[in-house]
Amino acid sequence: MPYEYEKNGAAIYLESFATIRAEARLEHFDKDAEQVVVRMIHAAGMVGLEEHVQVSDGMVATARAALENGAPVFCDAYMVSEGVTRKRLPADNDVICTLRDPRVPDMARDMGTTRSAAALELWRDRLGGALVAIGNAPTALFHLLEMLEDPDCPRPAAIIGCPVGFVGARESKEALWQAQPVPSIIVNGRLGGSAITVAAVNAIASRSE
């Protein structure tokens, strides 16, 4: 016996987002932020995620303008960089993850940190005005904040800080939100991950759902 289920992709898409908007509490987000949060909820399959999301005033507009001006997107992990939909990017933007650079293992050993954190040092020459998307490694987010304490380190336009996990994830996001070196999005607590982070990037890159 065949199963009865919706087979029309367009109908699935419309019903999914209608369900999110009917069930989620989105009233405290502005229009731009709401678009991004809806995408994050969709990626997580979790109405209620919005209660954990914090968005700096003007973050989405700032990040979107940066992309429209050709800024690169720096990602802490390939699970993030590979999820970015290139056709959504407004200026054929570079999407960069340096985790597999052959220099990184030695850098991590010398720095006494993870490869995810050490890989960020290779971003410095292009970090100014970029969009940063950290969706996996709390150590990467902590190291980014340490880099930005250096007045000579170029500043990105905006940060999506959504590392996931049980060790350092909550603390790294709290640190980002308290420091606010640039406009940011975080998901409080242990929640986060590559799918949510990619959803935020793709939503920012697009002006419509």
CB atoms within 10 A of CB 124: 13
Q: What CA–CA distance (Å, rounded) separates 51 from 129?
A: 29
- Both tokens of 17, joined, read 């987002």
156-177: burial string, b at 16+ Cβ within 10 Å, e else: bbbbbbbbbeeeebbebbebbe
Amino acid sitting at position 50: E
CA dihedral 97, 186, 34, 37 (to 10 degrees): 60
- Both tokens of 108, joined, read 């991590």
Can you give 74-111 as a three-state secondary structure string? EECCHHHHCCCCHHHCCCCCCEECCCCCCCHHHHHHHH
Amino acid sitting at position 41: I
Catalytic residue among 28, 42, 52, 143: 42
Active site residue 42: yes
Active-site amino acid positions:
42
